[in-house]
Amino acid sequence: MTASPFRRAAILAIGSELLTPNRIDTNSLFVTSALNAIGIDVVFKAVAGDDRVELQALVAHALGRVDLVVLTGGLGPTDDDVTREVVAAHLGLPLAEDRTITDAIRRRFDARGWVMPEINRRQAMVPRGALVIANPNGTAPGLWIEHGTQGVLLVPGPPREMRPMVEQMVAERLLARADGRRVVRRVLKIAGRSESRVEELTQPVYSRWRALDTPVETTILAAPGQIELHLSARGNDAAGLDAVLDRAAGEIEAVLADDVFSSDGASIEEVVGALLLSRGWKIALAESCTGGLATSRLTDVSGSSAYVERGVVAYSNEAKIAMLGVGPDLITAFGAVSEPVAQSMAEGIRDRAKVDVGVGITGIAGPTGGTESKPVGMVCISVVTPPRTLVRTFRFPGNRELVKTFAAFTALDMVRRMILERVKGSEGVEANTSG
């Protein structure tokens, strides 16, 4: 039988824990990314517990609809792991023990000085005709079954076991059966704009892309403080797709200008880190309501010790006075959450740390503590660089966690704009109120 290409896939995530409020299926995201990269679309996915009846129904549905079914989970040695048995029974394939697998599992136990429990032999049961995929990180091997023109891939649930096995199968089996179409994606990250404003500004641009020879699809996603514009194009020529997406990204950047802080997937902390490095500048942060979150995000980047000098959490008035030299009179006159205090915090940490860039963040994260003149979500942020000082007041929406997230993100974005020396006019950076 000549192998027809795999175009449409379904992913079934198996595991009763995935139906509780405590665990979420993330394997399908990885599998989707691996399949999309070789031009296979995921047309649906489903989560089922360790339940023969539900799983059998899903397998039947999937095999009726797609070329390729990927199942993760339920390959363990215990009675509640049913994926192998259900798939074999549905396809009418008898199971037989593969002694080489049993021996391999036994050796894993021996290496730890343990005796292999007899139930692990279940993991050595192989449906007739299936290809066994070795699992270097666990006991359960994967299985690849060709059923007529269709493919069925079974991999274990633990992500660190599943990932290398999926990668191996993509390279060794699936790539050859994909039809050569690829999906190339580009993520533009945008700061200082609401989702609706991004949509309004970019819609006239991206609506034209659908009529191109290689259409570009767009999706807008909101996260606290930032908007993401995902661009994708599909076709056979990877270099050509890259060129199409470069052009499309360029058109968006022409409209949104400096609000686009990343077009290569980099996070705001990576972008700020690269800018600081390029200037040879160091940074120190004084944080109140964010409790160190902005510093934490900067230090998420490997190599950040080259430019992060310190971050202090100055939560109480006393701390702001003692650690940063904020004048008590300033606090009395304007309040701890005020532009003069934010600026004094930024200047204070910059002087004390002897760095180029100082940041001060003070605000009301809520849900208590707000007043009419200083409502919950009000945050004052100041950034001081060698050539200039900036201080702005924002009103961020949402609960305590969101206000902190918005404030930390916005502080980093202000640093970015200050380093680029392209800060918007006197009305300040538009607060992003969506998400």
Query: Which residues would be at the binding site for Mg ion (CB under 5 A)?
Result: 15, 73
Binding partner of residue 75 among ligand AMP, Mg ion, none, CB cut-off 5 to 8 Å per kind: ligand AMP
- Minimum distance from CB of 50 to ligand AMP (Å)? 7
- Minimum distance from CB of 13 to ligand AMP (Å)? 4
Of residues 155 and 314, the one with the C-beta less far from Mg ion: 155
Of residues 27 and 290, the one with the C-beta less far from ligand AMP: 27
| Count of residues that interact with ligand AMP, criterion CB under 6 A | 17
Check residue 142 for interaction with ligand AMP (CB under 6 A): no
Check residue 17 for interaction with ligand AMP (CB under 6 A): yes
Six token digits for residue 262: 């990343």
- x/- contact string, 365-384, with ligand AMP (CB under 6 A)? --------------------
Q: Taking contact as CB under 6 A, which single stretch among the options 142-150, 155-163, 249-257, 403-411 is the one that binds ligand AMP?
A: 155-163
Check residue 26 for interaction with ligand AMP (CB under 6 A): yes
Check residue 363 for interaction with ligand AMP (CB under 6 A): no
- x/- contact string, 55-94, with ligand AMP (CB under 6 A)? -----------------xxxxx----x-------------
Instruction: Decide: 59 and 47 in contact? Cβ < 8 Å.
Output: no
- Where in 27-56 is the site for ligand AMP (CB under 6 A)? 27
Check residue 141 for interaction with ligand AMP (CB under 6 A): no
Q: Taking contact as CB under 6 A, which single stretch among the options 17-25, 291-299, 322-330, 415-423 is the one that binds ligand AMP?
A: 17-25
- Minimum distance from CB of 367 to Mg ion (Å)? 39
Check residue 13 for interaction with ligand AMP (CB under 6 A): yes
Contacts of 205 (CB under 8 A, 6+ apart): 251, 252, 255
Contact residues for ligand AMP (CB under 6 A)?
Answer: 13, 15, 17-18, 25-27, 72-76, 81, 156-159
